[in-house]
Amino acid sequence: LGLSGPPGAGKSTFIECFGKMLTERQHKVSVLAVDPSSSTSGGSLLGDKTRMTELSRDMNAYIRPSPTSGTLGGVTRTTNEAILLCEGGGYDVVLVETVGVGQSEFAVADMVDMFILLLPPAGGDELQGIKRGIIEVADLVAINKADGDLVVPARRIQAEYVSAMKLLRKRSKVWRPKV
């Protein structure tokens, strides 16, 4: 599964929760987390693992943070090979967390069976959803952080994206993207 979305959408938190649910169901989960690299120093924080403390201690989970090292598209130049290595290593679920991305960075969509776009409740209006690019390749749009005071805005953005998705051309005869 590829997971993408804007910075602050809660990708790492979602992966930790989802990953723990999967390991409790006896799955072996691998997380390939991609962090941006500095254009000045070339360095990267590789901090996603620290936001997945429970999952990182799980014996049925493997978390590998990697820097983009200047590669565009939200992934590294070796992400596809890393997916294959994880599958070969016995991990039956591989989650690829991209860097916080925008409308045109979705290279992971071609590497995975399902591409999930996570959005916060304040993820824009219906016009944002109609924009070509990342929304066209999403198999699932998940509105994250939809609790407390954000329930109403989350329901509104969900309705706007459902409406916007109806205007996009179908990519598959068997799967209709869900919000």
* pLDDT per position as a tens digit, 29-50: 999 988 765 555 554 455 566 6
DSSP state of 178: B
Q: Please check whether residue 175 lies inside any domain of the structure.
A: no
> Which residue shows structure tokens 């598209």?
73
Q: Please check whether residue 7 lies inside any domain of the structure.
A: yes
pLDDT at 130 over 50: no
Q: How many domains does the chain have?
A: 1
Q: Please check whether residue 160 lies inside any domain of the structure.
A: yes
Q: How confident is the model at residue 127, as a pLDDT?
A: 45
Beta strands in the chain (DSSP E): 2-4, 29-35, 61-67, 93-97, 115-119, 140-143
Q: Please check whether residue 177 lies inside any domain of the structure.
A: no
Q: How confident is the model at residue 164, as a pLDDT?
A: 83
Q: How confident is the model at residue 48, as a pLDDT?
A: 60
Structural domain of 18: 2-167
Q: How many residues does the chain have?
A: 179
Average per-residue pLDDT in the chain? 83
Give residues with Cβ within 8 angstroms of 161, minimum separation 6.
119, 126, 129, 135, 141, 143, 179
Q: Please check whether residue 107 lies inside any domain of the structure.
A: yes
Task: Give the least confident one: 49-58, 121-130, 169-178.
Answer: 121-130
The predicted model scores a pTM of 0.85
Q: How confident is the model at residue 60, as a pLDDT?
A: 98
Q: Please check whether residue 176 lies inside any domain of the structure.
A: no
pLDDT at 10 over 60: yes
CATH number at residue 54: 3.40.50.300
**Residues 48-107: tens digit of each pLDDT:** 666 789 999 999 999 998 877 666 556 777 889 999 999 999 999 999 998 776 655 678
